[in-house]
C-alpha cells in the first residue's frame, strides 16, 4: 500500500541506504528530515501512479500536503536549488491541482516523442549523455537501491 510513510522511507533509502530516517516514528520529524535531505541536493522526485493514492483520501491528502510543503521550482528557475517533481497520474486530485507545477496532459506518445518531450523541457546543461545515463542508472526495487552498470 502506498502511503506518505512509504514514500518518505523510500526517499530516505534511495538517498542513503544507511539512513536512520525510516526508523523515525514521529511523522512531523520524519517529513522535515526528508525535506532537508531533498533540499540538500539537486533533487528530482518522481512519483509514479499517483492515482493509486486516490482510494484512500486521507493518505492522498497527507501526500499532497507534503508535496505542497516542498520548495518546488520550475526549470526556468535554474539558479535556485529547488526540488524538481515529476508526478504521473491518470486522475488529477484536488490536492494536485493546487501544486505550483506545470500540468502537461499527454495522450499516448511513442518512445521517440516521449524522449523529445523530456528534452524540450530540460535545460541543455542538465541533459545527460548516454554513457552518463548508463553510468548513473539506478533502479529502485521494493524500496532498495541497486546501482547498475
The C-alpha cell that represents 90 in the structure block: 491518470
Angle, nearest 10°, between helix axes 57-69 and 4-15? 40
List, for residues 115-125, the tens digit of each pLDDT value.
Answer: 787 777 776 65
pLDDT computed for residue 10 by the predictor: 92
Q: Is the pTM of this model over 0.85?
A: no
Q: Are 82 and 71 in contact (CB under 8 A)?
A: yes
Q: Tell me the sheet residues that pair with 85.
A: 45
DSSP state of 70: S
Rounded to 5°, angle at Cα 52 from 100 and 87: 30
Summary mean pLDDT of the chain:
76
Per-residue pLDDT band at 147 (split at 50, 70, 90)? very low
Q: Per-residue pLDDT for 3 more than 60?
A: yes
Q: Residue 134: its pLDDT value, please?
A: 42
* DSSP state, residue 25: -
Of 42-51, 85-94, 129-138, the least confident: 129-138
Give the pLDDT score at 117: 77
All three cell numbers of 13: 533509502
User: What is the per-residue pLDDT across 59-109, written as a single tens digit (0 to 9) for each?
Assistant: 999 999 999 888 776 555 555 556 878 888 888 888 888 877 777 777 777
Q: Is the pLDDT of residue 138 over 50?
A: no
Amino acid at each position: 500500500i502506498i502511503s506518505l510513510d512509504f514514500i518518505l522511507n523510500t526517499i530516505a533509502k534511495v538517498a542513503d541506504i544507511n539512513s536512520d530516517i525510516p526508523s523515525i516514528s514521529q511523522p512531523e520529524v520524519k517529513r522535515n528530515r526528508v525535506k532537508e535531505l531533498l533540499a540538500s541536493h539537486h533533487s528530482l522526485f518522481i512519483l509514479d501512479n499517483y492515482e493509486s493514492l486516490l482510494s484512500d483520501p486521507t493518505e492522498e491528502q497527507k501526500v499532497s500536503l507534503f508535496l505542497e510543503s516542498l520548495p518546488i521550482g520550475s526549470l526556468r528557475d535554474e539558479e535556485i536549488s529547488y526540488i524538481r517533481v515529476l508526478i504521473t497520474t491518470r486522475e488529477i486530485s484536488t490536492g494536485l491541482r493546487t501544486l505550483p507545477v506545470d500540468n502537461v496532459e499527454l495522450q499516448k506518445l511513442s518512445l521517440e516523442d516521449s524522449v523529445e518531450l523530456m528534452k524540450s523541457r530540460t535545460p541543455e546543461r542538465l541533459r545527460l549523455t548516454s554513457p552518463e545515463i548508463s553510468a548513473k542508472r539506478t533502479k529502485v526495487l521494493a524500496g532498495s537501491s541497486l546501482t547498475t552498470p
